Structure 1
Amino acid sequence: MKKIFITAFALILSITAFAQTERSLEDIDESNSWLKVGALIAAPSGEVANYSSFIFGLDVAAQFLRTNNFGIGLATGYTKYFEKSEAPAFQGMNDGFGAVPLGLMLRYYPQPEGLFVGTDVGYTFLSGVTSENTGGGYIRPMLGYHNYNWNVFAFYNHIFRPETTIDVQSIGIALTRNLRFN
């Protein structure tokens, strides 16, 4: 877990080292800040795939372009892990379980339109499980395509839980719409 956070921090430092023009929060306008709202579909991976067959969710993020190429913001949403009908119970869940992430969003855009890379790092709260541990730290690296209005990206999501429980992992795709702040 420490290695992932150190890697993310090193990525942030290296990206900002190549920044051209930095903006402050007072400079927020529709040209450099927006709300990203969309949907995702995914497949569970790892041990949680024994309990869940399909994942659907909503993705919400507020982004501020610190430079023309580097965006930072807050990410959240809701993801539903649908239970397999023949699966044994996963920590007391009934009809699947939900996940609500709350994290820092980091994006690097080499061009105004085209490929981008990024990650979300934070904490995910799990709902619908009766375990004492109902959450954990998460990281969601991604690779995608963006333009002025839309983003489509592939991602890997990993929720790190204590050693005595199952980590929650998935691989999926998401589509988000950029809603400009005025």
Structure 2
Amino acid sequence: MKRFYIPATLSVVIALIMSINVNAQSGKTEITRKNSWIKTGLNIGLPIAQLADQSNFTLGGEVKGQLMSTPNWGLGLASGYTHYFPKEGHENFGSIPAAVFARYYPARQGFFIGADLGYSFQTGSQLNGNGGMYARPQVGYHNRLWNIFGFYNGIFRKEADGSHIQYVGIGTTFNILFD
């Protein structure tokens, strides 16, 4: 089962990149000030599964570049940093994701659903820098300037590198518009 994560995630990433490339070549999506922007935000989370034994909570920041490829679909790149605040007897550590993301917006304002997929690099001595495949499905509310969402964050590592890193949380991002 664990061997499935890497090929599956890479397949999704390649498919997203190819779809962006196909749209760009066909002239359907031109990057303009009106259909692209930067999202910056903060999130907080509660560790679940084995991570709950090592960490009390998480606090992170994120930056995303988004292109609205159609009126309802946003695609982009995502990164940031999440710090895991340790329980007594454990060390500090963090994660730095490098991901692509897709979001579906049924309307100009209201509900949205999306996911980030990629790889997360780990920081901190107890993890020896070993990261893993990164998945972050989310659901939330959006308007022109703000996004508020709930999410599950999973970093799936090889068994030799230790347990998976999982938490649930809430976050908000502010859209920096160029128009």
TM-score, scaled relative to structure 1: 0.82
Deviations 1:52-76 (A, max 9, x none): 0010010110000000000100000
Determine whether 1:176 maps to 2:140.
no
What's 2:23 paired with? none
Paired position in structure 2 for 1:66: 69
Whole-angstrom CA distance in 2 between matches of 1:173 and 1:60: 15
How far off is 1:30 after superposition? 2.5
Read off the aligned partner of 2:166 and give its amino acid letter. Answer: Q
Aligned match of 1:127:
123
C-alpha separation in 2, matches of 1:119 and 1:106: 6
The answer to whether the 8 A contact 1:133-1:161 is kept is no
| SS of equivalent to 2:125 | coil
Partner residue of 1:103?
Answer: 99
User: Gaps spanning 5+ residues in structure 2: where?
Assistant: 21-26
Q: Percent identity?
A: 40
2:175 partner letter:
N
Question: In 2 relative to 1, CA 133–58 (structure 1 residues): closer, same or farther, beyond 3 Å?
Answer: closer
The aligned residue for residue 78 of structure 1 is 81
Structure 2 Cα separation of the partners of residues 138 and 81 of structure 1: 16
**C-alpha displacement of 1:180:** 1.2
Q: Which consecutive aligned stretches of 4+ in structure 1 deviate over 2 angstroms post-superposition?
A: 2-9, 129-133
- Among candidates 159, 162, 167, match of residue 164 of structure 2: 167
- 1:42 Cα shift? 0.4
Matched positions, count: 167
Q: Provide the residue aligned with 2:31 in structure 1.
A: 28
Q: In structure 2, the residue corresponding to 1:67 is in which secondary structure? A: coil
1 or 2, which has the higher helix percentage?
2
- Give the CA deviation at 1:8: 5.6
Distance 2:140 2:35 in 1: 19
Normalised by the length of structure 2, the TM-score is 0.84
Shift, 1:181, TM fit: 2.9
Aligned counterpart, 1:19: none
Structure 1: unaligned runs, 5 residues or longer: 17-21
CA deviation digits over 1:38-95, x for unaligned, max 9?
100000111011000010010110000000000100000110000012xx43xxxx3x
